[in-house]
Structure 1
Amino acid sequence: MATESPAKKLKTDGPLIGTHSGHFHADEALAVSMLRLLPTYANSPLVRTRDPEILKTCHTVVDVGAAYDENQRHFDHHQREFVTTFPGHATKLSSAGLVYMHFGKNIISAVTGLQPGADLDILYEKIYTDFIEAFDANDNGVNVFDPKAVEAAGLTKKFEDRGFSIASVVNRYNYSTNKAADANKTKEQLQQEEDARFAKASDFVGEQFIIELTDRTTAWLPARNAVNQAFEKRLEYDPKGRIMVLPEGMPWADHLYTLEKESAIPEGVEPQVLYVLFPETTEPGSKWRIRAVSKENGGFQNRKDLPDPWKGLRDEQLSEVSGVPGGVFIHAAGFIGGNQTFEGALAMAQKACAF
């Protein structure tokens, strides 16, 4: 329950946002932080309570109240009949997905300056797919893979990753670091400290969202045209189209996968690029990198590793074994390497294709 009158806050600040008290999760932490990116809510206070009478004083309520009503600005997903999903997706929304679905385009415009149009639409979908949907799935108990299928296949984890996600970081903010001192505090003091921990969690998740959105806007989105041009020119470097050359380093993988799916592949040309070349820097005389293309959604698996005999070698030893002068290195895992020149990197990629 709030320690200051919600009605007083509503009169003196921006529109009051309400969410539940008690144990909190990543979805409402993100929902609150996203709302505050909008000019309307920039100075909005937050009340964390389960008291229906206090929630009635709130302008916008997320993740509590058992109601989803856009007109009333109620964005809860816990009611039995709730089945809403983001357009084109099957994952049931959490409070994060609900806020993003209704306010996402305005949030993107507020943060990036993008105006309504194709780029904003593309980014709206991309941010949901790559960032928001995982919050929805996590809060609704949806696994990345069907547990029964995983069990039937006899698959087991190589290591435990429960503490590695954004959701796990948010969960850590739920706990006080001084249990002994808590025993002597009043309920009001404990609530204030819980609210403060929620604020930190919300700030953390909001920062991750802004970083994701900013990177997609300033790097991923502009890369679309450059990757498209490089994809069209790939036959200049390999008659089967297995090598793509970029003018500089950029986020290319998503765009490449999309182009491969949507483009008409000429006869005699391979449907997939195996290696991507790009300079280490934009400075003249830069060294060049050769990157094996990962399998889509394949984690660290590549379509074709750089040759096994080259893995882990450097400099003269690499040049001698590969037969290409100017070798710099090949990672031991075979996913990336380098050469002193573009010509050397291209020769390495051409040899790797034929290996």
Structure 2
Amino acid sequence: MAENAAKRLKTDNGVVAIGTHNGHFHADEALAVYMLRTHVPTYAGAKLVRTRDPKKLDECHTVVDVGGEYDPARNRYDHHQRSFGTSFPDRPTKLSSAGLVYLHFGREIVARRLAQPEDSEQVGMAWRKIYESFVEALDAHDNGISVYDSAGLAAAGLEKKFSNGGFTLGAMVGRLNPNWNDPIPEDPVAAQEAEDKRFELASQRIGEEFDRDLDYFTQAWLPAREVVAEAFAARQEFDGEGRILVLKRQSAPWKDHLYTLEEQQPAAGKVLYVLYPEKPVPDAKWRVQCVPESKDSFQSRKPLPEAWRGFRDEELDGICGVNGSVFVHAAGFIGGNKTFEGALAMAKKALEI
């Protein structure tokens, strides 16, 4: 879906101009501008024009988050018009300018990082994952979509137990806007320059977080899929029902891949415990981690036995009946042993309780 920028190349002395609105800025246009300028060669060194003047915007090669027009053929990426309802493939959240730019340029961005064709399976997997894990939150924030249905929460009688400070990706950018009582230069040109500097800082800040996700999902998350798939295929080696998965060499990001493999092979049953060495060295201690009911859940499919929880070392050996025990967390979601054999024995005993 990468755009051919040559089809509408408006430049100022050879420099491509990206237009967005001035005034209070948000995370979506800050990221949209960053993705284009940093990751799409056509926009390298692009000039930024922050204005709501239609004439000035019309002079820009690309316009994001302003102008009331979504037309990728003309490099226009606004989402505020009543007729707009575009979402990412198979996702319900209406896009913001960040999602629109990622929809059209994201495959190119991921493909360049992986040095693979845009239509490759791995590019597609990472493109979708980065949207779901990062960009979609900005789309929802800018479109006023809550993480949870407020009516459903109220009907269930659920309330937050504590304040999380409201610190989201959107809030991280929002707090870089000036405070209501900060002094503003009297000269309009100087005032706009000061505001633009804040926007540039915000764009760079949200861009740094995007790049961390881009690096993680292309360089760590994707390679882990093969590691988890190999362990998933061999799990009957350790438990006839396939409830124990062993990452033999070292730990890797396994949750997403495990859930995907289980969905693809429903007859294979559910994994309850994942075993892995703490470090990729021969004498490493081993961990027994319970599989959560869902990726972000604190509830395990089968927690380690309550009688083991909160104990350590020799005392735990006597309670669980396995030598070399190191600990079991008080919440029962993880434990450890000095050896692989000991960790496996702990997992097998836990299956029986």
Tell me if TM exceeds 0.5.
yes
How many angstroms apart in 2 are the aligned matches of 1:309 and 1:186?
71
Which residue does the alignment assign to 2:121?
118
Equivalent residue, structure 1, for 2:25: 24
- For the aligned residue pairs, the C-alpha RMSD in angstroms reads 1.8
- Report the equivalent of 1:134: 137
> 1:302/1:185 Cα in 2 relative to 1: closer, same or farther (>3 Å)?
farther
Deviation at 1:350, TM superposition (A): 1.0
Map 1:158-173 onto structure 2 (within 5 A): 158-173=161-176
Matched residue pairs, number?
A: 341
Instruction: Report how far residue 215 of structure 1 moved.
Output: 0.8
Is the contact between residue 112 and residue 214 of structure 1 (CA under 8 Å) also seen in structure 2?
no
3-state DSSP of counterpart to 1:291: strand
> 2: distance between equivalents of 1:341 and 1:56?
67
Residue 7 of structure 2 aligns with which residue?
none
Cα distance in 1 for partners of 2:251, 2:180 equals 43
For the structure 1 residues 162 and 64, does the alpha-carbon distance in structure 2 shift closer, same or farther, using more than 3 Å as the test?
Answer: farther
Q: SS of 1:97's equivalent?
A: helix
Report the AA paired with residue 148 of structure 1.
A
Percent of residue pairs bearing the same amino acid type? 52
Q: Which residue of 1 aligns with 2:5?
A: none
Distance 1:35 1:97 in 2: 12
TM-score (norm 2): 0.92
**Cα–Cα, structure 1 residues 319 and 189, in superposed 2: closer, same or farther, change >3 Å?**
farther
Gaps of 5+ in 1: 1-8
Instruction: Name the SS for the 1:16 alignment partner.
Output: strand
Distance 1:170 1:82 in 2: 24
1:274 to 244, 265, 272: 272
> Where does residue 62 of structure 2 map in the other structure?
60
One-letter code aligned to 1:57: E
Query: In the alignment, which residue of structure 2 is the partner of 1:156?
Result: 159
Q: Find the counterpart in structure 1 of residue 286 from structure 2.
A: 288
State the distance in 2 between where 1:183 and 1:216 align: 41
Whichever residue aligns with residue 75 of structure 2, its letter is R
Q: Deviation of residue 138 (structure 1)?
A: 1.1
CA distance in 2, matches of 1:280, 1:177: 49
* Counterpart secondary structure, 1:58: coil
Aligned partner letter, 1:43: G
- Residue by residue, what CA displacement relative to the aligned partner does 1:301-329 show, whole Å, maximum 9, x if unpaired? 21122222222222222222221111112
Q: Give deviations 1:213-272, integer Å, cap 9, x for gaps.
A: 111111111111221111111111112211100121101101110111111525xxxx21
Shift of 1:78: 0.1
Tell me, what secondary structure is at the counterpart of 1:265?
helix
2:201 counterpart residue number: 200
Contact 1:246 1:278 survives alignment (8 Å): yes
For residues 39-71 of structure 1, what are the alpha-carbon distances to aligned partners after superposition, in whole Å with 9 as ceiling and x for unaligned? 111211211111111111111000000000111
**How many angstroms apart in 2 are the aligned matches of 1:311 and 1:13?**
66
The CA deviation string for residues 7-38 of structure 1, in whole angstroms up to 9 with x for no partner, is xx943463111111111111111111111111
Is 1:38–1:110's contact at 8 Å kept on the other side of the alignment? no
CA 1:238 to 1:198, structure 2 compared with 1: closer, same or farther past 3 Å?
same
Aligned residue number for residue 323 of structure 1: 321
1:262 is aligned to 264
Distance in 1 of aligned mates of 2:43 and 2:271: 46
Please say which of residues 64-73 and 193-202 is displaced more in the overlay. 193-202
Indicate conservation of the 8 Å contact 2:247/2:274, yes or no. yes
Alpha-carbon deviation of 1:107?
Answer: 1.1
